[in-house]
Amino acid sequence: MTEVTIGNGMATSFWSDSWAGEPLRKQWPLLFEVSRRKNRMVADAINEDHWLTDLCGRISLDLLLDFVALRQVVQGCNIVPDTEDTFRRKSTSGVYSASSAYALQFDGSLQSSLRHIWPAWAPPKCKFFMWLLLQRRVFTTDRLLRFGMPNQYFCPLCRRILETPAHLFAEYPWSRGV
């Protein structure tokens, strides 16, 4: 987690940085969704309340309540013109290391199922094919259609259904038997 201290607000993202505790886009996702400018800096957003003019769309009760809460947070923000914004990594030790920066990069991200392919014992070409299959990069008829390439449309094995990776490797009766 990164702790942000607002100075002049020129380097801090209004919606994405954690200058008000948690990033605003996570605290008020409805407001973030209806904002036209999601990349404003804090100084620009607070100056003449530009963040208000960025909001567009239908008004609902939930949106109105979120608006009032965010308005209070924004009014409590003090910009100090002559100082830079500061970013500091929150950690138990408070010491920066390359491994802590790497861990921060992937904090909150999902683990990929692809990581189980490479340690498995199999010939490299089989692992590569499985990786392509899980990435949906195998050139079956559905992928050829998407790129406008010539194809037969139906599965050449059963001639009944569109050829997709799921059909070939899971749904096709012979594949299920294997």
pLDDT of residue 122: 92
pLDDT of residue 96: 63
pLDDT of residue 93: 61
**Using CA atoms, how far apart are residues 26 and 7, in angstroms rounded to an integer?**
22
Given a cut of 50, the residues of the chain with pLDDT beneath it are: none
Amino acid at 143: R
The domain in which residue 37 lies consists of 2-86
Co-location of 6 and 70 in the same domain: yes
Co-location of 128 and 73 in the same domain: no
- Apex CA 90: angle with CA 88 and CA 91, to 5°? 135
Residue 42 located in a structural domain? yes
- Apex CA 87: angle with CA 86 and CA 90, to 5°? 135
**Using CA atoms, how far apart are residues 165 and 14, in angstroms rounded to an integer?**
42
Co-location of 10 and 71 in the same domain: yes
Q: Which of 86, 121, 143 is the last residue of a domain?
A: 86
Residue 101 located in a structural domain? no
Residue 147 located in a structural domain? yes
Residue 100 located in a structural domain? no
pTM: 0.50
pLDDT of residue 108: 59
Longest dimension (CA), the chain: 72
pLDDT of residue 23: 85
Co-location of 118 and 81 in the same domain: no
Co-location of 8 and 77 in the same domain: yes
pLDDT of residue 123: 94
Beta strands in 6-136 (DSSP E): 86-89
Amino acid at 2: T
Instruction: Tell me phi and psi for residue 111, to 5 degrees.
Output: -75, 135
Residue 35 located in a structural domain? yes
Co-location of 75 and 120 in the same domain: no
Residue 96 located in a structural domain? no
Into how many domains does the chain fold? Answer: 2
- Nearest Cα residue to 72 out of 13, 35, 20, 9: 20
pLDDT of residue 162: 86
Tens of pLDDT, residue by residue over 36-88, are: 888 888 888 888 888 888 888 777 788 888 888 888 888 888 788 888 887 77
Co-location of 71 and 30 in the same domain: yes
Residue 150 located in a structural domain? yes
**Using CA atoms, how far apart are residues 1 and 87, in angstroms rounded to an integer?**
10
Co-location of 77 and 10 in the same domain: yes
State whether residue 88 is helix, strand or coil: strand
Q: Up-side HSE of residue 130: CA atoms within 13 Å toward CB?
A: 15
Co-location of 124 and 70 in the same domain: no
pLDDT of residue 66: 85
Residue 98 located in a structural domain? no
Co-location of 15 and 61 in the same domain: yes
